[in-house]
Amino acid sequence: MGGLLGWMLAGFGLDGLAQPLPPFRHEPIFGLGPRTIWQGGWGIEVGVDRNRTVRADQWRLEYEVLYGLTVNWATTLVLEQPVDGAPVDVSVRTKYRFFRRDVRGGVYHAAVLGGLVLAEGAGAPEAVLLGLSAAYEGRRWLLFLTGRQRLGQRPVTRYDVALGVRPVRTGYYQPDLVVMAEVNGQLFRDPVDHRMLAAVGLWLTYRNWAFKPGIQWPLYRSRGVEPLRSRWVGSIEVHF
């Protein structure tokens, strides 16, 4: 019976789902980390983003498709679709992990980040994304440090610091929970504005599936023109 199931999965190209896959590499809910995926691996993520402002609640659906070019080099297509009918935002990100050091009970790794933000209708690029991310992922604690720069239209510098903890250490065949606390910064140039936000999120994973809810709220804004409000996100991700 098991052999028949394997042949059926192979016939539909799903035989990888019947075998243990590498465990999820985590990253901040509201930021990016150095994680990649194995060579030839795919990741699909579908999520919802509710950004509360003084004027109105802004809802959008988010879709991401991740592909591993090599074990250290991955690229991601990102689509952000506002629910109010505004044009879809399209961007392409790439990530190259140039450093990895395995230690007892964890791993240190770092990656350079890059990408393009496309104009409406997936037209010519209107902005370039650059960044650097480093992390430690252990069986109990996780730490992420990331800096990103958007050049072109609507330039902004972002920085993220995230600390995660695994309350209960579990195995691959058991549900795994990581609680993430974050500080996210945004530096705008025109007009000059420094925003700092805090966030709490969860990573609930089981084998090659992940559920990631999170909430973000403002801590500080240098320009008091319009107060910031909370932001809620949630997504489901699968690797195969």
Q: Which residues of 54-87 are buried (b: 16+ CB within 10 A; e: fewer)?
A: eeeebebebebebebbeebbbbbebebbeeeeee
Residue 123 pLDDT exceeds 60: yes
CA distance 175 to 166: 11
Closest CA to 95 of 35, 45, 27: 35
In the predicted structure, residue 6 carries a pLDDT above the cut 60: no
Residue 203 pLDDT greater than 70, yes or no:
yes
Mean pLDDT of the chain, nearest integer: 86
Query: What is the C-alpha separation between 117 and 128, in angstroms, rounded?
Result: 6
Tell me the chain's radius of gyration from C-alpha atoms. Answer: 19
Residue 13 has pLDDT above 50, yes or no: no
Is residue 201 within 8 Å of residue 237, measured between CB atoms?
A: no
CB atoms within 10 A of CB 105: 11
CA separation, residue 63 to residues 8, 24, 218 (Å): 29, 18, 25
Q: What is the pLDDT of residue 55?
A: 62
Pairwise pLDDT comparison (52 vs 54), residue with the higher score: 52
Per-residue confidence band for 4, with pLDDT thresholds at 50, 70 and 90: very low
CATH fold, domain 26-239, is Porin (2.40.160)
Q: Which residue has the higher pLDDT, 22 or 215?
A: 215
What is d(CA 77, CA 44) in angstroms, rounded to the nearest whole number?
10
Which has the minimum average pLDDT: 8-22, 80-94, 161-175, 189-203? 8-22
> What tens digit of pLDDT does each residue of 57-79 get?
788 999 999 999 999 999 999 99
CB 173 within 8 A of CB 164: no
CB 47 within 8 A of CB 235: yes
**Would you state the pLDDT for residue 57?**
76
Q: Is pLDDT at 143 greater than 70 in this prediction?
A: yes
- The predicted pLDDT at position 76 comes to 97
